Structure 1
Amino acid sequence: MWIWGTLAGIGSALGAWLLYQGLSRAPFAIVVPVSAVAMVSIALGLSLAFLGERPNARIWLGVMIALPAIWLTAGEGKPSKTRMSSSTRAGLLLGLGAGLGFALQLHFLGQVPEQSAFYGIALCMLSGAVCCLPFYQHAHPAQKRFPLLATAAGGISALGLTLYALSREGQLAIISIVIVSMYPLIPVVFGSLARKEAVSGTTMTGVALSIVATVLIVVGSNQAILLGDRP
């Protein structure tokens, strides 16, 4: 059990590192939606490959919508080389990598027995922090608010993983689905406002499609789990 928690922490650290690397090179509106859709899609693939879950029509429809959603969000719907700049390509690739890391985190946490879920979450947070330590750099003395913000972010992450663990037990399933499906929109809106980034109508269309795709995949995956024992 401790192995799954440790591996989940490694996936979390990988996802977080790649996510922040992407945010340092490309806008919020590119990196975050791509990482969110990739996270759910890759987690679905892992479930199909290792857990034997059977996809339904909603899952496949969500996957089909996710592909143009990623393109619209990252390339703003125009396949020109000027639009697809080097920073955009870097943000796209790093967002996909971040989605892979977070998908591995959820997959490995899903292997932890339900009675040990909270112990697994604690191990995940601990091993993730240890993996991130080599990348630590001393902040400027004027940036004293960073430790507080980082602590708050860690608390929110732990809360999200706790809700995820509870949803695995059949509780708060609707809440966890809404949180996951709304993930692309909320960071893009608030992040773009905070960083004063302009978000085009095409990008917002991609974000909207990302939300639709994520909802379909998550709801379809949840139904596949519920119907997994039926012929």
Structure 2
Amino acid sequence: MGVFLALSSAACYGVVDFAGGLLSRRAHFAIVTFVGQVGGLALAVVLAVSVPAEHVGSADMLWGALSGLGSGLAMHFLNRGLSRGAMSIVIPISAVTGVALSVLCGVCLLGDRPTALAWLGMCVTVPALWLVSRGDRGDRGGKPDGGNGPGPLPDAGVEVGPAVSDGLVASAGVAVQYIGLAQAAPAAGLWPVPCGRVAAVAVLLPAAYRHREHFRQPVGLLAAAAVTGAGAAGGLALYLLAAQQQMLALAVVLASLYPAIPTLLGLSVLHERATRAQAIGLLSAAAATVLLTLG
């Protein structure tokens, strides 16, 4: 069940990433991120009320809040990178480095002991995520990009330094998000998730205020951003349930397979062409899923 929950979390994140990639091209990234977290908070409260909780301690709330700080920072810098047209740089760095940091923390600090098959699956996952997200860097400048988000996103002339910085900060946020949420006690139910959304909204509020003039968007676009954030909150809830049933390292790796989803959606819905790197990455991600499931 833990494997199914983690893969379902990846599916949620993948669909959200696909939609968020579109929205970040139509509105300012800070507004899309902030409205998304508000929508995520609304759904998180509904989910938390729906799932019985034996005891919600202050430590659980603090771990949830720490996770939310990571989420807020990750989405802010990820969307900033996407808005700069640096998708082919930011997505691979944030996905791969975030997984690596989370797994290392689980093994070195939390005592996770993956099996040999699980280790093999994790080793396959890292290059698979890179290939799926990165695609072919030669496609830059107008062809459909192989990363998270559909359609053409010209990024010719992007400065590599700022894009790498966005990706690294986003990856650190991803690691904090996963590690913090996994520390909450199972007795707390899903309440750490809304605690995290409150923290995410708080940390993103200054940026949203600085760009408040960009809130003048069509109602449909703002609603779409809120729904996208709600989907991300649903993915976090699924991840939390998965982490309660299996070790952190496996839950993180399985949940982090999400870059394959927007790539597949781009191929099937938008009729994009898969690069050779993406095809290899997708096959490798499938093989990693099997290994992690067996492990």
Q: Does the TM-score normalized on the shorter chain lie above 0.5?
A: yes
Question: Taking every aligned residue pair, what percent have the same amino acid on both sides?
Answer: 28
TM-score, normalization: structure 2?
Answer: 0.58
Per the alignment, residue 68 of structure 2 pairs with: 9
Go from structure 1 to structure 2 and tell me whether the alpha carbon gap of 1:71 and 1:170 turns closer, same or farther (over 3 Å shift): closer
Q: Deviations over 1:35-77 (max 9, x none)?
A: 3333332211110121111233334434543554426854838
- 1:102 is aligned, of 162, 171, 174, to 174
Per the alignment, residue 155 of structure 1 pairs with: 230
CA drift of 1:92 comes to 4.8
User: For the residues of structure 2 that align with 1:188 and 1:75, how far apart are their CA atoms?
Assistant: 9
Go from structure 1 to structure 2 and tell me whether the alpha carbon gap of 1:123 and 1:142 turns closer, same or farther (over 3 Å shift): closer
Per the alignment, residue 130 of structure 1 pairs with: 202
Per the alignment, residue 275 of structure 2 pairs with: 201
For the pair 1:167 / 2:242, whether they are aligned, the reply is yes
1:25-174 matches, within 5 Å, as 25-26=84-85, 28=87, 30-66=89-125, 68-69=127-128, 70=130, 73-74=133-134, 76=136, 86-87=158-159, 90-136=162-208, 137-138=211-212, 139=214, 141-170=216-245
Hey, which bits of structure 1, 4+ residues long, moved more than 6 A?
176-179, 191-194
Contact 1:177–1:218 at 8 Å: present in 2 too?
Answer: no
Per the alignment, residue 211 of structure 1 pairs with: 285
- Tell me, which stretches of 5 or more residues in structure 1 are unaligned? 79-83, 224-231
User: For the residues of structure 2 that align with 1:50 and 1:20, how far apart are their CA atoms?
Assistant: 30
User: For the residues of structure 1 that align with 2:161 and 2:135, how far apart are their CA atoms?
Assistant: 9
CA drift of 1:106 comes to 1.3
CA drift of 1:140 comes to 5.7
Amino acid of the residue matched to residue 112 of structure 1?
Answer: A
What is the aligned residue count?
A: 212
TM-score, normalization: structure 1?
Answer: 0.71
Contact 1:9–1:127 at 8 Å: present in 2 too?
Answer: yes
Amino acid of the residue matched to residue 68 of structure 2?
Answer: G
CA drift of 1:152 comes to 0.6
Contact 1:30–1:91 at 8 Å: present in 2 too?
Answer: yes
User: For the residues of structure 2 that align with 1:24 and 1:210, how far apart are their CA atoms?
Assistant: 29
CA drift of 1:125 comes to 0.7
Go from structure 1 to structure 2 and tell me whether the alpha carbon gap of 1:198 and 1:87 turns closer, same or farther (over 3 Å shift): farther
